[in-house]
């Protein structure tokens, strides 16, 4: 059956979040860094804005090398704050989830979505929906993203990467082969440098060449499973479904407080309903949590978090409430009045895993 599938990927994500929080960064190269702490410049660049990329700066590059590439231009070197990006990610995913048939989060800044039912397999409707997604994310979170729409995941993923930043690329069923043909094989999800090199050595560098490569040749190189995948993908065929993984990696809730406040009791009181709600969700999904994070957003929109990893996973409401209270108290120790507050449970695990784990250890 025909489907319409999309892939959404936020542009220069960590660096863009830093720009949202401090718009004065926009005209400068912004480098989000993982400092290893040994010397002032030891560590790597996690990501950078497009201004920095003009200087040849890339993810994973040593900070010292990035500094040299900037060649005297004043860049902003910002410490990576994963918790903060998670908060933005959660909110973007919520926006998308509410507007599609199925959402499958595939990373902190990307997700597949299925809109077959919503659009009645109509590409014009899917295009309008993708535009609406982009506009809503921009309006509510001030973030741009790039979206690809196509007949399946493989095509949608390549399409979202086709025009960046702030792109929208729609590839209809009957256009898929022509769209993919001129692109290099490395664009196919799962084809890393090693696979690409092996293909190259067999004289296959474009997707068009891969699409007509003899099956035996691919099987010799990669075995049956990968060979079939490569053959299908290069022909624009992919049967992988978009599956909601139940947000099984985390559950979160944010609220805006009635008044900006520094009062722990007040904040906890207002957080109780969402806390009960998130706990109910946890129990209904048969999940345990191991990590709990409290989040505070101040008047200046800066985000502050405190988190704790428990010795053993639990689904006990009283433990949850106690930990949230303690984490919030620690958080309030360091910041002023909160405007918004929230909680996130992560490292979620199945009751089943839990059971087998206890059986195993006892
Ligand atoms: P894009 O999508 O090309 O506009 O740029 P990004 O930065 O969104 O790149 P993407 O989607 O591949 O990665 C999403 C985030 O993951 C990115 O903002 C930072 C992080 N990340 C990506 N590559 C690396 C890496 O090599 N090291 C570290 N520490 N983080 C990375
Ligand atoms: Ca991205
Ligand atoms: Ca990504």
Tokens standing for residue 172: 């209809």
**What class has domain 184-234?**
mainly alpha
Ligand 1 atom 5, closest CA: 12
- Cβ atoms of 99 and 132 within 8 Å: the answer is yes
Ligand 3 center to residue 245 CA distance, Å? 18
**Which one is catalytic: 110, 141, 270, 323?**
110
pLDDT at 86 over 90: no
Same fold, 15-80 and 184-234: no
- Cβ atoms of 351 and 261 within 8 Å: the answer is no
Q: Looking at per-residue confidence, does 308 or 244 come out higher?
A: 308
pLDDT at 249 over 90: no
The mean per-residue pLDDT over the stretch 96-121 comes to 95
Angle value at C-alpha 35, between 26 and 31, nearest 5 degrees: 15
The mean per-residue pLDDT over the stretch 205-223 comes to 96
Q: Given CA atoms 20, 21, 26, 30 in this order, what sign does their dihedral have? A: negative
Ligand 1 center to residue 35 CA distance, Å? 16
Whole-prediction pTM: 0.78
Within 10 A of 7 (CB to CB), how many other CB atoms are there?
Answer: 27
Ligand 3 center to residue 257 CA distance, Å? 32
Delimit the domains of the chain by residue range.
5-12+83-176, 15-80, 184-234, 246-361
In this structure, whether the domain defined by 246-361 belongs to CATH 3.30.1490.100 is answered with: yes
Counting from 1 in the atom list of ligand 1, the atom nearest the Cα of 59 is 26
- CA-to-CA separations, 127 to 108, 123, 172, in angstroms, rounded: 24, 6, 11
104 in catalytic set: no
Ligand 1 atom 9, closest CA: 12
pLDDT band at 329 (very low <50, low <70, confident <90, very high): very high
Domain 15-80 fold is MutS, DNA mismatch repair protein, domain I (3.40.1170)
Report d(CA 251, CA 253) in Å as an integer: 7
pLDDT band at 41 (very low <50, low <70, confident <90, very high): confident
**Minimum-distance ligand to the CA of 157?**
3
Q: Which residue has the tokens 């489907």?
A: 3
Ligand 1 atom 21, closest CA: 46
Least-confidence region, from 33-42, 53-62, 230-239, 291-300? 33-42
Report d(CA 362, CA 332) in Å as an integer: 40
Residues with CB under 5 A from ligand 3 (ion): 9, 109-110
The domain 5-12+83-176 is classified under which CATH number: 3.90.1010.10, 3.30.70.270, 3.40.50.10490, 3.30.2320.20?
3.30.70.270
DSSP state letter for 12: T
Counting from 1 in the atom list of ligand 1, the atom nearest the Cα of 164 is 4
């Amino acid at each position: 059956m025909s489907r319409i599938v999309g892939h959404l990927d936020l542009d220069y994500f960590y660096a863009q979040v830093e720009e949202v929080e401090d718009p004065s960064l926009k005209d400068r190269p912004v480098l989000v860094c993982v400092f290893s702490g040994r010397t002032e410049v030891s560590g790597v660049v996690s990501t950078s804005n497009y201004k920095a990329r003009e200087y040849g700066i890339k993810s994973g590059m040593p900070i010292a090398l990035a500094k040299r590439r900037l060649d005297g231009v004043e860049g902003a070197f910002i410490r990576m704050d994963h918790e903060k990006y998670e908060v933005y990610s959660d909110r973007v995913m919520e926006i998308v989830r509410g507007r599609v048939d199925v959402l499958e989060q595939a990373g902190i800044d990307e997700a597949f979505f299925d809109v077959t039912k919503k659009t009645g397999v109509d590409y014009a409707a899917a295009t309008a929906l993708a535009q609406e997604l982009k506009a809503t994310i921009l309006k509510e979170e001030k973030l741009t993203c790039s979206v690809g729409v196509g007949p399946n995941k493989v095509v949608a993923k390549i399409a979202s990467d086709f025009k960046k930043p702030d792109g929208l690329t729609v590839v209809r069923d009957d256009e898929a082969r022509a769209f993919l043909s001129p692109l290099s094989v490395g664009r196919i999800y799962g084809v890393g440098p090693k696979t690409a090199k092996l293909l190259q050595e067999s004289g296959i560098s474009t997707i068009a060449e891969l699409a007509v490569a003899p099956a035996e040749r691919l099987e010799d190189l990669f075995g049956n499973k990968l060979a079939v995948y490569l053959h299908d993908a290069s022909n624009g065929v992919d049967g992988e479904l978009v599956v909601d993984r139940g947000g099984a990696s985390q559950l979160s809730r944010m609220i805006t407080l009635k008044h900006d406040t520094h009062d722990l009791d007040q904040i906890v009181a207002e957080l109780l309903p969402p806390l009960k709600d998130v706990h109910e969700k946890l129990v209904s999904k048969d999940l345990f949590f191991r990590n709990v994070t409290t989040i505070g957003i101040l008047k200046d929109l800066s985000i502050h978090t405190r988190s704790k990893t428990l010795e053993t996973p639990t689904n006990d409401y009283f433990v949850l409430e106690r930990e949230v209270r303690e984490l919030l108290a620690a958080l309030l120790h360091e910041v002023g009045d909160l405007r918004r507050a929230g909680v996130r449970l992560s490292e979620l695990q199945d009751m089943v895993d839990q059971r087998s784990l206890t059986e195993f250890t006892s």
